[in-house]
Amino acid sequence: MNDIITRREVIQRVTALLGGAALAGGDSLAAFTFNEAARAEVMAQGTGAFTAADIALLDEIAETILPQTSTPGAKAAKTGAFIALMVTDTYTDRAQQVFRDGLKKLDDECRSANGVTFMSASPAQRLALAEALDREQKAAMDERQGPPVSRAPIASSSNDDPAHYFRMMKELTLLGFFTSEAGMTQALRYIETPGRYDPCAPHKPGDRIWAGHA
């Protein structure tokens, strides 16, 4: 029996174990841990249609969304590499194209607004662009889906059209960071499983929430 399985099969199996719950984007995308060695390899070599330069750009976009504060930011967790791998391995061809076109559009809009690429823009210029795109994606998704309701983040709308590219970027940034070692152990509180069930664990104001287990 062949014990070798692809990353896509791993994701599909994890999805089944989680009852189909997913934190973000693609047809068969579930939260999973992308270890630091894998992130570093993808950053150095690129993956799929994403080059090392694309991944560096994704890192800076992710850092703008989740910047370093008293805890590491998305760039420290190599979130750009995670995003590139997840888009390549789990998104439909159509969604991948929307995402990649969006990456170019984001850079073009930064040039139009500031006269420089996103990589050369100042933190304030990057933040202003990200805020404008966030308003744009929210308006687009609200118009497509109707009145806001309680729902999990998605990569596709109810009519199977890919989500706005910046929504994908935001969702994958959150997923990539909070399933990374830095996100789980420094932004969240983490206890290695197996552990014990404690329904009344003390939680003081200001305490970080507990990390989940994918």
Q: What is the pLDDT of residues 142-182, one digit of tens each?
A: 887 765 444 444 455 445 688 999 999 999 999 999 888 88
Q: At what angle do helices 79-90 and 7-17 cross, to 10 degrees?
A: 90
Q: How confident is the model at residue 125 (pLDDT cuts 50, 70, 90)?
A: very high
Q: How confident is the model at residue 81 (pLDDT cuts 50, 70, 90)?
A: very high
Residue 97 has pLDDT above 90, yes or no: yes
Highest mean pLDDT among 36-50, 112-126, 191-205: 112-126
Residue 2 has pLDDT above 50, yes or no: no
For 16-38, what is each residue's pLDDT tens digit? Answer: 443 433 444 443 333 344 555 66
Nearest Cα neighbor of 55 from 72, 41, 35, 36 is: 41
Q: CA–CA separation, 83 vs 60, rounded Å?
A: 12
8-state DSSP, 42 = H
In order of 7, 47, 50, 101, 134, the CA distances from 38 in angstroms are 12, 11, 15, 25, 29
Check residue 181 and give its pLDDT: 83
Q: CA–CA separation, 138 vs 134, rounded Å?
A: 6
In order of 99, 128, 157, the CA distances from 125 in angstroms are 22, 5, 30
